Amino acid sequence: MRFVIIGGDAAGMSAASRARRNDPELEIVVLERTDDVSYSACGMPYNIADPDRPMEELVVRRAEVFRRKQNIDLRTGHCVEAIDPAARTVSGSVRGGERFVEPYDRLLVATGARPVVPDLPGIDRDGVVFLKTLEDGRRIKTLLAARGVARVAILGMGYIALEMAEALRSRGLAVSMVKPRPGLLPWMAPELSAVVRARLEAHGVELHDGRRVERIDSEGDRLRVVGPELDLPADLVLAALGVVPNSEAAAEAGLELGPSRSIAVDRRLCTSQAEIYAAGDCADAFHVVTGRRVYVPLALRANRAGWAVADNVCGRPTELDGVAGTAVFRVFELEVARSGLTAAEAAQEGFDPVAVSIATPSRAHGHPGGDRIHVQLLGDRASGRLLGAQLVGVEGVAHRIDAVAVALHAGLTVARFAQTDLAYAPPFGPVWDPLLTAAHQLLKLLERGS
């Protein structure tokens, strides 16, 4: 059997490697349009923070290793442009113009996502950058070293934007951030968002939320981000406004699409065409709380989905439960995490959400150090079910959110979650863990129906 994979990053190479372990005789062909495969894209902001760290440190495994040690026919510089389900072929071009047509018995579309490019005059100017691929990271580090950059304007205030704000400030650069809607991350509870905002401003980041950008002008080597009541000078502009799935070839081939025009897949990662699978940032998933399709492009899902595809291709039926939207990032010593639904999302899905927010010590009383952990916990008034959580704090947040994720996968009620046996030791938290304290407070609200 011939297993062809389009895309050589997280989902694609996870699928290729697992398929080879499953079946040493399987013919595996990977078609990757760039020269980079299997790298840690999530580590790029932290790498960019250090001018002396080479970007190549983020490469997990080089293409030649896949070819030599795993007998995977990995072809870089191959851009797939069309999929023909009837003929079971993919076609495209090699860098330099040569055309190719490749037959398949089973196909995995793992084409990932690309940055949102806003419709702004000047967005294509020299000095306007995006951060999604390893080549993007290399370009940013090269520009920072060569242009005498002193001031950077960031369009957007999402995960990457906030991580990059810290990275650039750590290099001594002035940073301004701008977005059209008020507030930081749209999902974040206002009381938690205020904590993040205060930390950003304390580190000298200028925040211009609720400001619309009309264009990007240039004055020699310098740029200006311009809008009504907005005029930000910059030596570099980073557009970090989210991503969109690379699903055009799949759509043209007649594959069904899901949220945000991602490729719709079932729990076996199979598309609407029986021989074609999709995984990674180009594909959708099912949310474990709602059961509905969602587009949540995150690294763990991509790698896990790649494994599941390989198992299914090799005759080992495998289904994935779905995602809870669990995510964590760091910004200026603060750990920020979420899992599950926000109050607005829960209401939209037909729940009757009740939320409680608390701030509690991150360590036991009398134990030196520590800070405060801010927790918002969300439950459903009708069923008592736990729906989601958000956490912000300087310690104890990143892995604490995992308890919420497990509870959401298990469908626990707030009452059952409040009874979970969480670990305690003074250096790591109070006897009543912040999550348990929040759960008991939320349970009181749910029980009295207010």
* Domains in the chain: boundaries: 2-113+244-313, 128-239, 327-444
- In this prediction, residue 84 carries a pLDDT of 98
Pairing type for strands 236-239 and 215-219 reads: unpaired
Q: 337 near 159, Cβ under 8 Å?
A: no
CATH architecture of the domain with range 2-113+244-313: 3-Layer(bba) Sandwich (3.50)
Predicted confidence (pLDDT) at residue 46 exceeds the cutoff of 80: yes
Note the pTM of the prediction, 2 decimals. Answer: 0.93
User: pLDDT tens, 304-358?
Assistant: 999 999 999 999 999 999 999 999 999 999 999 999 999 999 999 999 999 999 9
CATH number of 327-444: 3.30.390.30
In whole angstroms, what is the distance from residue 171 CA to residue 203 CA?
A: 12
- In this prediction, residue 449 carries a pLDDT of 64
CATH number of 128-239: 3.50.50.60
Secondary structure (3-state) at 117: coil
User: pLDDT tens, 275-308?
Assistant: 999 999 999 999 999 999 999 999 999 999 999 9
Residue 271 neighbours by CB under 8 Å, 6+ apart: 109, 250, 255, 256, 263, 264, 265, 277, 278
Average pLDDT over residues 413-442: 93
User: pLDDT tens, 33-42?
Assistant: 999 998 998 9
- In this prediction, residue 220 carries a pLDDT of 81
Average pLDDT over residues 222-227: 95
Confidence of residue 186 (pLDDT cuts 50, 70, 90): confident
User: pLDDT tens, 114-144?
Assistant: 999 999 999 999 999 999 999 999 999 999 9
Average pLDDT over residues 11-18: 96
On the question of a common fold for 2-113+244-313 and 128-239, the answer reads: yes
Which stretch, 146-160, 177-191, 400-414, has highest mean pLDDT?
A: 400-414
So which residues are the catalytic ones? 42
Predicted confidence (pLDDT) at residue 444 exceeds the cutoff of 60: yes
Tokens of 269: 């990662």
Q: 60 near 134, Cβ under 8 Å?
A: no
Q: How many CA atoms within 13 Å lie on the side-chain side of 115? A: 21
Predicted confidence (pLDDT) at residue 56 exceeds the cutoff of 70: yes
In this structure, what is the dihedral angle of CA atoms 158, 163, 167, 168, given to the nearest 10 degrees?
Answer: 10
- In this prediction, residue 426 carries a pLDDT of 85
Predicted confidence (pLDDT) at residue 96 exceeds the cutoff of 80: no
Confidence of residue 31 (pLDDT cuts 50, 70, 90): very high
Confidence of residue 221 (pLDDT cuts 50, 70, 90): confident
Q: 133 near 301, Cβ under 8 Å?
A: no
Kindly state the greatest CA–CA separation across the chain. Answer: 70
Rounded mean pLDDT of the chain?
A: 94
Residue type for 241, please? L
- In this prediction, residue 237 carries a pLDDT of 97
- Exposed e or buried b per residue across 298-325, where buried means at least 16 C-beta atoms within 10 angstroms of its C-beta: bbebbbbbbbbbbbbbbeeebebebbbb
